[in-house]
Amino acid sequence: MTLDPKLTKLLNEQINNEMSSSYVYLAMAGWFERTPYTGFAKWMFAQSGEETTHALKFYQYLVDRDAKVELQPIAQPKMDYSSVVDAFEYSLKQEEKVTQQINDLYEVAEQVKDHASKNLLLWFLNEQMEEEKTVRDMLDRLKLAGNDTASLLVLDREAGNRPGAGGGPGSGGRP
Ligand SMILES: [Fe+2]
Ligand SMILES: [Fe+2]
């Protein structure tokens, strides 16, 4: 079954959205690296890797459906944040935006009755729900910690121990 042209276009756009997300998180990791919070830097670095994986999942889907891959330029991400909470708030907004994008994509897949695409997008919708929850939970606790450095460092250590957050340049873990 040929992939609907509108759906093809939107799936290509989603590759770009995921790569843009990856770039946002990489910029955030870089910002955190210049603060004492190396755990959050690792968290963001791992998140950047996850977003790249998402982009590649959409890429592979287009290839598997024999549709044309058309890549667009990636915009420069926001480079500076005013606080840890500010960065995580931006992260939550980023995830909510992506959830909306995938939700819209699902609607188009439904309109053109492409059930295989719906299946792919359902996986992403669940993934988005999880990611939003993870960020929201951390944000809640960051707000609770406020300016208490000791509490922030506890959360930072926890963030650094998050599964998949072992990576980072020079750490010997993933990318
Ligand atoms: Fe993603
Ligand atoms: Fe995400």
- Domains within the chain, CATH numbers bracketed: 5-69+81-160 (1.20.1260.10)
Q: Angle of helix 84-111 relative to helix 38-64, nearest 10 degrees?
A: 10
Measured in angstroms, how far is the CA atom of residue 33 from the centroid of ligand 1? Answer: 22
**Nearest listed ligand to the Cα of residue 14:** 1
Measured in angstroms, how far is the CA atom of residue 68 from the centroid of ligand 1? Answer: 21
Measured in angstroms, how far is the CA atom of residue 156 from the centroid of ligand 1? Answer: 23
Q: What is the rounded CA–CA span in Å between residue 72 and residue 62?
A: 15
* Structural Rg of the chain based on CA atoms: 17
pLDDT digits (tens, 9 = 90+) for 80-110: 999 999 999 999 999 999 999 999 999 999 9
Four-residue CA torsion sign, 30, 33, 37, 39: positive
Measured in angstroms, how far is the CA atom of residue 134 from the centroid of ligand 1? Answer: 13
pLDDT digits (tens, 9 = 90+) for 58-75: 999 999 999 999 999 999
Q: What is the rounded CA–CA span in Å between residue 162 and residue 157?
A: 9
Q: Are the CB atoms for 17 and 101 separated by under 8 Å?
A: yes
Token pair for 58: 């959409």
Beta carbons within 8 Å of 63's beta carbon, 6+ residues apart: 69
pLDDT digits (tens, 9 = 90+) for 6-55: 999 999 999 999 999 999 999 999 999 999 999 999 999 999 999 999 99
